[in-house]
Amino acid sequence: MKTISLGTSGLRVPAIAIGCMRLNGLDKAKAQRFIHTCIDLGANFFDHADVYGGGASAGACETLFAEALGMNSLVRENVMLQSKCGIRPGVAFDFSKEHILASVDGILKRLKTDYLDTLLLHRPDALMEPEEVADAFTALHNAGKVRIFGVSNQNPMQIRLLQKYVPLPIAVNQLQLSITNAAMISQGLHVNMQDDAAVNRDGGVLDFCRLNDITIQAWSPFQYGFFEGVFLGSEKFPALNAKITEIAAKYGVSGTAIAIAWILRHPAHIQPVTGSMNEERIKDCVKATDITLTREEWYAIYMAAGNTLP
C-alpha cells in the first residue's frame, strides 16, 4: 500500500482510508473478517465518527470495531484511528469545549483505546468560538488523547479563523469528492467564465488546502449527489460507465479501482475514504494505488461524467 503524508503532522498514512460509517451493518464475525482483510492489505487507517450507527445507535460502529478487532495495547499499534465529533443529530452542531472533551472521552471508551491518531470536527458550527476549540484541542493533546487535529466540510475562512487560535496545525479537511461531485475541481477550470461551473461555492478550498499542506480526505468517492446513489453501474451515467469500463479493461482492474485512481491522480495527494463493507471492493480500491491514469484518461473520465471544459 502506498502512503502519503498527513498534512504537516509527519505521520505517513495509507493512500486509502477505510470509512466505518456502515460497519454496524455487519455482524461481529463479518466485521472481524472485514477489518483484518483491510489490515492485511495495508489499509489500516480507519475513519470513524461518534454519530456513526445512527439515532439511538450512535457510536455503535466504534463499539463493534473495537470488539471485532479485539482491541488491546498490542493490536492498537497496528492500526491508525480517526474519529469525528461535533454533531448532535437533529439538535445542533456543537464545537463547545465541553462537548468536544466529552465526545472524545466517549469515543476512546467505545474504541477501547487511550488515544486517537486524528480527531476531526464534523461539519462547521455556526456558533463556534475558536478560543474554546483551541482550549479543547490543547487539553486533549497535552493529555495524550489526540495526536493530530483536522476538520470536515470547512471552507478556507473557517479554517483560517480556527487556525488563528489553535496552536496545533490543522492537518486534514474531509470533503465530499467524486467524479460526479467535482465542483471544487471544476471551478478551477472555469475561472473567468459565466457558466454554472465557474461559481466558487467553497472559497477555493482545494487550492487553499494545497497551499497550506492540509490533506483532503475525499468522502463518498463513489456517490453522486448527496447520498443519492453510486454512479458505478447506474443507468443515469451511461457515458461515464462506458468510459470507466474501457479504461478499466486497459489496466485489468474493476471500475471501482478506476474511480479511486481518478481521485488519486490529482496532484493534491487526496486520501479517498471508502464507505464499502465489501471486502472485494476494498481490494479493488487498494489496486488503484498502483495505477497512474494518463492526463488524457483523467480528463476523458471527467468529461464523461457530464463535466465540461471551457
Catalytic residues: 52
Query: What's the CA gap between 59 and 242, in Å, rounded?
Result: 39
- Could you tell me if 165 and 134 are in contact, meaning their C-beta atoms sit under 8 angstroms apart? yes
Quick check: 259 and 232 in contact, CB under 8 A? yes
Cell triple for 165: 487560535
**Do 206 and 268 meet the contact criterion of CB atoms below 8 Å apart?**
yes
Q: Are 145 and 168 in contact (CB under 8 A)?
A: no
DSSP class of 291: -
Query: What end-to-end distance do the CA atoms of the chain give, in Å?
Result: 36
Burial class (CB in 10 A: 0-12, 13-18, 19+), 93: middle
Q: Which of 254, 256, 259 is nearest to 301 (CA)?
A: 259
What stretches of 233-275 show up as alpha helix (H) in DSSP?
238-251, 255-264
